Structure 1
């Protein structure tokens, strides 16, 4: 890949703002395992190799299994994910691909019933944030060392 700009070097205040979102997200009630599933799945959809590598490593540090990570791209066909995880993964896909039909009522209702209002709001913010990071990394050809 061709070398591209480094937003962190050119616009450090932008990164400080993104890290502010990360600080907020680190203190939410959303389970760590759900946070990492969101990050990995959105990154898969967005084709962000940089974030996939970072977040699969992070998930495994916190006890996620390789088997579940390998199955994540086919979660709908896998028995390895519970109802709450399925609702969050569906929400992740719909919000990540929001231009393809918005967030359907059934998806929203499933996430709301399994997470509650507060954690649903936190999950949406987690999805929005990883999508922003994916777009930065893909647009600038970031490579994880």
Structure 2
């Protein structure tokens, strides 16, 4: 699969806004390790090989285990994730698949048990941001290098 265009060069203003949004999400109340888990899961759901690869590599550099990384796609059937991580992964999927799920009440209740109001808003902004990156990378066929 060949890249369609270089979106950084095609619209520097738009990419500056995306980069600012990404930088902001790194400074919110959600810890970096959890951010990588939700970025990987949203990217898997969206079929974004580039972002799945990038965030898996980043998570590994921060000490995430290969075993947990392999299990993200099947997190419901894995005992490797904490209740907080499971709530975040469920929330990530529901928000990513918004048109299908409308973010069910049970997923919201699970998330509220684990996250404060501020954290849940911050988590939702982080999910929204990675979904935006996925849409760019998938639409313009950005693939992992190496």
Structure 1 SS opposite 2:4: coil
Where has structure 1 moved over 6 Å in runs of 4 or more?
none
Residue matched to 2:71:
71
- CA–CA distance in structure 2, aligned partners of residues 48 and 101 of structure 1: 20
Residue matched to 1:62:
62
- CA–CA distance in structure 1, aligned partners of residues 56 and 84 of structure 2: 20
Q: Superposition pairs for residues 34-49 of structure 1, below 5 Å?
A: 34-49=34-49
For residues 31-75 of structure 1, the C-alpha deviation after alignment (integer angstroms, 9 at most, x for no partner) is 111100010000001110000110000001111100000011110
Residue matched to 1:99:
99
- Please tell me the root mean square deviation across aligned C-alpha atoms, in Å: 0.8
**Structure 2 residue runs without a partner (length 5+):** none
Structure 2 SS opposite 1:119: helix
Matched, 1:82 2:82: yes
TM-score, normalised to structure 2, is 0.96
Matched, 1:8 2:14: no
Residue matched to 2:27:
27
- CA–CA distance in structure 2, aligned partners of residues 108 and 100 of structure 1: 15
- CA–CA distance in structure 1, aligned partners of residues 65 and 50 of structure 2: 20
Determine if contact 2:3/2:143 at 8 Å carries over to the other structure: no
TM-score, normalised to structure 1, is 0.97
